[in-house]
A and B are shown apart, each in its own frame.
Chain A
């Protein structure tokens, strides 16, 4: 790109000045209350189930649809986008996927209860539970709701009204000792327990194993959602593991604190789920990932309770037993209580965005930011396809035409440019200083600051993007996202190869229209980055679209591994990626994990068959 004729420094200075003023107007509370609904999930056993979709993502009242004029709108009142009309989404949607609003593929409107197999109950176990005063249910809706995560094949089957093996009953413990009781009874009566937190798994982790012949009991932790104590001297909070992310954050906010752990699923995912999958949050650069945040974990296993004896910040007592628990994906026991680090709510928060002439320059900039260890709370880089999506649908990035023209003049080709979104947090002076440092680095890579609003909208999109899949599925478009982590020097090659592999595999499998195949870098580390892929295609004309989808995703994962990417950065392995575990951690590594499982749970009570 010929960029010699512009002076990046003067530009970025100008933008920073503007953003500074905008930052001063920033109203934190408003953002929080707008972004997250105000429903507290734990009030009753079924409230959550009532306000959420049974066969799609998120709240029942929030969804994308094309109105009679063919304009897209987002319903409900919960999000900033709610109630907005998105006039150009239709054009993007039809253009990208070759889809047509005349061709609909609607979901089955409601759950056909007769499709649910009658429960295989272990009566003595049920009676013992009832005797112990525990809430249980074998209502089909309760069971179906807890039988799946959000993998494409799971949601697709629900939309078609196909119900596979579901748990035979649901039990709701309300505290640690309830869980101890349940696990003890499960061992006694040999039933299979599957812990259930927020239900946002994307690794087939919640699927009931077909080969399981015992009674399967879903252990729903949603009633264990209290903050038990907050220790302001040590900045820790002791929390029950069933608490949902947004509730935890809101309740801590009320006390002036936060955890800073914000995975994209935080509206619905639970603390216990984070621990069990080694979750990662958007702002990990400041607060760390879940393994950095936990000080203490209490887990109930068939062998008894596992926990450390003190709250020391670090220990040298052999291999860290927390690391057997973190990422155990419900195969060893139920996480009941967690002591987490907390931080005072940051004084100042500021969004930002930078436009780069191309993805290579963007990645080079992120690499430099990581090298200098000056990454903001969050920094993400979208590729050109995602930029175009944002641009088309929401006019997100470059609101005014004048600005776009300006960029084109500067040698930015709309077919190549890409955008990074930024979030800074901390005390005001430092944020501004930090911001300058990052924008200066960006300028060296041809990046131009593109405003605070664009950054903020970019992050907002994160929470609604999952709703878009449901819209696609109404019109013969299916898709999913998946992630990996990879050393810096391979980021570009991996992105290019995986995207191309997806396109090629789709073509070979008879997908008529080229798929949407895009990537973004969502986290930076000293030694590498986390990369996300979004992939969707129009499945008209395919007899078994889900199978095609799975084959392509499988090929994409093979490509990731062949290019030096990891099996997963934070989604986990579940049953979806199990076949690659041995290759990923070596035979000995797998054997070690198996022997732990063998010791902790010889009866395979926690029989979800994830991971190993």
Chain B
């Protein structure tokens, strides 16, 4: 039952479990009785029984924390008691106070809420059974994807429902500003971490010891989001390593025999925060989490959010994952309570594992037909005839399936039926008139709106729609990179195409989940998929397009087009920037207004260049490629731009010049 990452490089062959709607039962029987039912979770065989209050003293008395307290005390000159007191306060601020009564309260209210919000909540039964097994054998770490606030409520709700132990959940401190709700979440198992505590040794020690103690004692499954925060774009985010390192360390140090890592993919047919996210990406500040804000959100309860899918992936044994990669005896020569920075090889392992886990999340993410429709509508800003859209959707459906997409397509329903259902659910993003379907982007501008406001209005719709297209990007990503590479390589030679592919892959590795070091495999996977579709012929030294492949390649190229354009805009902006001391903070506003100007001037059609997510990712890529450097001046961090390098990257992205510095391929 332990999947050991014998990852099918040909995802088409992947077998997936069936789903069951868990709301069905809720619609039939009493929620109250359900909330008060006897809850007897499956327990870990090595469980050390311990109350939440005892947990605190175990953490505070731990050798690790005591060591750090002494260290901090001798460095700062404060008395050890004083530092210990501080540690205790940190822990109070952080710790959860899981209570069954609160869970029961949530079980009742969430049943009501979910039934109103969703048509169905589908869960893979087999995944639950695997989890039940895994929970008994080793401490479990739950790694759900993060698209909505709903995610962790839903997780706890489902685990309660399936008689699984309730998880403790790492949550951002910002929740605590919601007075009542924060405490409610705390009592349902959330523990709160400050968003940044960079060099604070004491904080790190309290935090890591707290998590490790819960894991070691098998207190509860530990749940956290690899992506660190909600993805506003519905694309998976580059994983964060901090917490992953913490939960892996007890295994590295031999304190646990193994840890089961369980990736969970949660997908929504319609995301509750959809337009909120789009506004946020466009720079309309995110409303601070507040209880009143949440109450206002009550109106969301009256809308239809379609169905939701939760897929519990195969538990991944950390031991199998680390086999041959981590030499655990490196910890033999230092008492284990002394904190050690992960070594280079450990860090590489963490990074690799994190990417692979996010890839599993991606692969198990259920895609709705709307995702296909959104992709097509974005590629056709002037709209399509409904009949043509239906035809195209059907074509795309088969392509997606051939590439291994986990598509939830209703059985025995005509394609036209499916399309019109999807359009109905997402009608607020569309305009349909006389059989012509178009994104809702060309509303007649009202008198008061400025041209800028009109652009933003359009961009909100485009970015909302893009958040659906983004869900399927991981399916098309590799073939699309190959398609673009072939287009810009100006050559059929395999190594030329590979160089181009590798350049693009490298450029976009902050944008998409591309496991570091997997370049060759990714290339081969892309070749394989396109060859199987009859789009390409891959010969020994050449890659040749088939006669029938044109439309597929064109489609794939336009999938990546917004990103290519967006990155070019960022490059252009940096090249044309006259301010020598552009600070990091000024970067996003600068790019935004630059892009806005281009759009208003009619020189740029692509609204996605306005997305701050894309802009940040582009900057990260430029920093990584050393085309831009960060320089600290006083309190400010300024960006030093190597204009020649940025300019040539822009040209390469635009296909104007061939890939620089051909990288010797291992082909």
Residues of A within 8 A of B (CB): 489-490, 493-494, 496-497, 500-501, 561-564, 583
A489 near B335 with CB under 8 A, answer yes
Output the least CB separation between B425 and chain A (Å): 48
A564-B329 CB under 8 A given contacts A493-B255, A500-B257, A501-B257: yes
A496 near B257 with CB under 8 A, answer yes
A564-B331 CB under 8 A given contacts A493-B254, A494-B254, A497-B254: yes
Chain A residues with CB under 8 Å of B332's CB are 564
Chain A residues with CB under 8 Å of B255's CB are 493
A562 near B329 with CB under 8 A, answer yes
- When each residue 625-648 of chain B gets 1 if its CB lies under 8 Å from chain A and 0 otherwise, what string results? 000000000000000000000000
Q: Does B541 contact A (CB under 8 A)?
A: no
B335 near A564 with CB under 8 A, answer no
A-B contacts, 25 listed (Cβ < 8 Å): A489-B335, A489-B336, A490-B254, A490-B336, A493-B254, A493-B255, A494-B254, A496-B46, A496-B257, A497-B254, A497-B257, A500-B257, A501-B257, A561-B329, A562-B254, A562-B327, A562-B328, A562-B329, A563-B254, A563-B328, A564-B254, A564-B329, A564-B331, A564-B332, A583-B329
Residues of B within 8 A of A (CB): 46, 254-255, 257, 327-329, 331-332, 335-336
Chain A residues with CB under 8 Å of B328's CB are 562-563
The 4 closest A-B pairs by CB, nearest first: A562-B328, A563-B254, A564-B332, A500-B257
User: Once bound together, how far apart are the Cα atoms of A110 and B58, in whole Å?
Assistant: 62
User: Once bound together, how far apart are the Cα atoms of A419 and B336, in whole Å?
Assistant: 28
User: Once bound together, how far apart are the Cα atoms of A429 and B46, in whole Å?
Assistant: 44
Chain B residues with CB under 8 Å of A562's CB are 254, 327-329
Output the least CB separation between B368 and chain A (Å): 40
Chain B residues with CB under 8 Å of A501's CB are 257
Chain A residues with CB under 8 Å of B46's CB are 496
Is the contact region of chain A dominated by helix, strand, or loop, or is it mixed?
A: helix
Chain A residues with CB under 8 Å of B329's CB are 561-562, 564, 583
User: Once bound together, how far apart are the Cα atoms of A563 and B328, in whole Å?
Assistant: 7
Output the least CB separation between B65 and chain A (Å): 16
Chain B residues with CB under 8 Å of A494's CB are 254
User: Once bound together, how far apart are the Cα atoms of A494 and B332, in whole Å?
Assistant: 12
User: Once bound together, how far apart are the Cα atoms of A563 and B327, in whole Å?
Assistant: 10
User: Once bound together, how far apart are the Cα atoms of A494 and B254, in whole Å?
Assistant: 7
User: Once bound together, how far apart are the Cα atoms of A583 and B329, in whole Å?
Assistant: 10
User: Once bound together, how far apart are the Cα atoms of A500 and B46, in whole Å?
Assistant: 12
Since A493-B254, A497-B257, A501-B257 are in contact, a sample of 8 more A-B pairs with Cβ atoms closer than 8 Å, ordered by chain A residue number, is A489-B336, A490-B254, A490-B336, A493-B255, A562-B254, A564-B254, A564-B329, A564-B331
User: Once bound together, how far apart are the Cα atoms of A500 and B254, in whole Å?
Assistant: 12
Output the least CB separation between A413 and chain B (Å): 13
Chain B residues with CB under 8 Å of A564's CB are 254, 329, 331-332
Output the least CB separation between B553 and chain A (Å): 46
Output the least CB separation between B304 and chain A (Å): 49
Closest residue of B by beta carbon distance from A566: B332
User: Once bound together, how far apart are the Cα atoms of A529 and B430, in whole Å?
Assistant: 73
User: Once bound together, how far apart are the Cα atoms of A501 and B327, in whole Å?
Assistant: 16
Output the least CB separation between A552 and chain B (Å): 16
Output the least CB separation between A291 and chain B (Å): 23
User: Once bound together, how far apart are the Cα atoms of A500 and B327, in whole Å?
Assistant: 19
User: Once bound together, how far apart are the Cα atoms of A564 and B331, in whole Å?
Assistant: 8
Output the least CB separation between A398 and chain B (Å): 26
Chain A residues with CB under 8 Å of B331's CB are 564
Chain B residues with CB under 8 Å of A500's CB are 257
Chain B residues with CB under 8 Å of A583's CB are 329
With most chain A CB atoms within 10 A of its CB, the pick from B254, B327, B328, B336 is B254
Output the least CB separation between B474 and chain A (Å): 32
Chain A residues with CB under 8 Å of B335's CB are 489
User: Once bound together, how far apart are the Cα atoms of A563 and B332, in whole Å?
Assistant: 7
Closest residue of B by beta carbon distance from A503: B257
User: Once bound together, how far apart are the Cα atoms of A564 and B335, in whole Å?
Assistant: 10
Closest residue of A by beta carbon distance from B63: A489
Closest residue of A by beta carbon distance from B333: A564
Closest residue of B by beta carbon distance from A494: B254
Output the least CB separation between A4 and chain B (Å): 15
Closest residue of A by beta carbon distance from B255: A493
Output the least CB separation between B649 and chain A (Å): 45
User: Once bound together, how far apart are the Cα atoms of A583 and B255, in whole Å?
Assistant: 22
Chain B residues with CB under 8 Å of A561's CB are 329
Closest residue of B by beta carbon distance from A492: B255
Output the least CB separation between A532 and chain B (Å): 19
Chain A residues with CB under 8 Å of B336's CB are 489-490
Closest residue of B by beta carbon distance from A497: B257
User: Once bound together, how far apart are the Cα atoms of A147 and B254, in whole Å?
Assistant: 39
User: Once bound together, how far apart are the Cα atoms of A564 and B336, in whole Å?
Assistant: 11
Output the least CB separation between B173 and chain A (Å): 33
Closest residue of A by beta carbon distance from B48: A360
Closest residue of A by beta carbon distance from B46: A496
User: Once bound together, how far apart are the Cα atoms of A583 and B327, in whole Å?
Assistant: 11
Output the least CB separation between B342 and chain A (Å): 17
Output the least CB separation between A525 and chain B (Å): 17
Closest residue of B by beta carbon distance from A564: B332
Chain A residues with CB under 8 Å of B327's CB are 562
User: Once bound together, how far apart are the Cα atoms of A564 and B332, in whole Å?
Assistant: 5
Output the least CB separation between B14 and chain A (Å): 24
Output the least CB separation between A362 and chain B (Å): 16
Output the least CB separation between A410 and chain B (Å): 19
User: Once bound together, how far apart are the Cα atoms of A278 and B169, in whole Å?
Assistant: 52
Output the least CB separation between B322 and chain A (Å): 10
Output the least CB separation between A370 and chain B (Å): 17
Output the least CB separation between B327 and chain A (Å): 8
User: Once bound together, how far apart are the Cα atoms of A501 and B257, in whole Å?
Assistant: 8
Closest residue of A by beta carbon distance from B216: A493
Output the least CB separation between B136 and chain A (Å): 13
User: Once bound together, how far apart are the Cα atoms of A564 and B327, in whole Å?
Assistant: 11
User: Once bound together, how far apart are the Cα atoms of A561 and B328, in whole Å?
Assistant: 8
Closest residue of B by beta carbon distance from A561: B329
Chain B residues with CB under 8 Å of A496's CB are 46, 257
User: Once bound together, how far apart are the Cα atoms of A564 and B330, in whole Å?
Assistant: 9
Chain B residues with CB under 8 Å of A489's CB are 335-336
Closest residue of A by beta carbon distance from B330: A562
User: Once bound together, how far apart are the Cα atoms of A129 and B307, in whole Å?
Assistant: 92
Output the least CB separation between B589 and chain A (Å): 52
Output the least CB separation between B176 and chain A (Å): 36
With most chain A CB atoms within 10 A of its CB, the pick from B46, B331, B332 is B332
Chain A residues with CB under 8 Å of B257's CB are 496-497, 500-501
Chain B residues with CB under 8 Å of A497's CB are 254, 257
Output the least CB separation between A486 and chain B (Å): 10
Closest residue of B by beta carbon distance from A498: B257
Output the least CB separation between A580 and chain B (Å): 10
Output the least CB separation between A210 and chain B (Å): 29
Closest residue of A by beta carbon distance from B250: A493
Closest residue of A by beta carbon distance from B326: A562
User: Once bound together, how far apart are the Cα atoms of A439 and B329, in whole Å?
Assistant: 36
User: Once bound together, how far apart are the Cα atoms of A139 and B224, in whole Å?
Assistant: 71
Output the least CB separation between B109 and chain A (Å): 37
User: Once bound together, how far apart are the Cα atoms of A562 and B257, in whole Å?
Assistant: 11
Output the least CB separation between A128 and chain B (Å): 49
Closest residue of A by beta carbon distance from B337: A489
User: Once bound together, how far apart are the Cα atoms of A497 and B253, in whole Å?
Assistant: 11
Output the least CB separation between B184 and chain A (Å): 33
User: Once bound together, how far apart are the Cα atoms of A493 and B331, in whole Å?
Assistant: 13
User: Once bound together, how far apart are the Cα atoms of A494 and B335, in whole Å?
Assistant: 15
Output the least CB separation between A598 and chain B (Å): 29
Output the least CB separation between A201 and chain B (Å): 26
Output the least CB separation between B2 and chain A (Å): 10
User: Once bound together, how far apart are the Cα atoms of A493 and B255, in whole Å?
Assistant: 6
User: Once bound together, how far apart are the Cα atoms of A562 and B328, in whole Å?
Assistant: 5
Output the least CB separation between B484 and chain A (Å): 44
User: Once bound together, how far apart are the Cα atoms of A562 and B255, in whole Å?
Assistant: 11
User: Once bound together, how far apart are the Cα atoms of A494 and B336, in whole Å?
Assistant: 13
User: Once bound together, how far apart are the Cα atoms of A319 and B328, in whole Å?
Assistant: 32
User: Once bound together, how far apart are the Cα atoms of A494 and B255, in whole Å?
Assistant: 8
User: Once bound together, how far apart are the Cα atoms of A496 and B139, in whole Å?
Assistant: 14
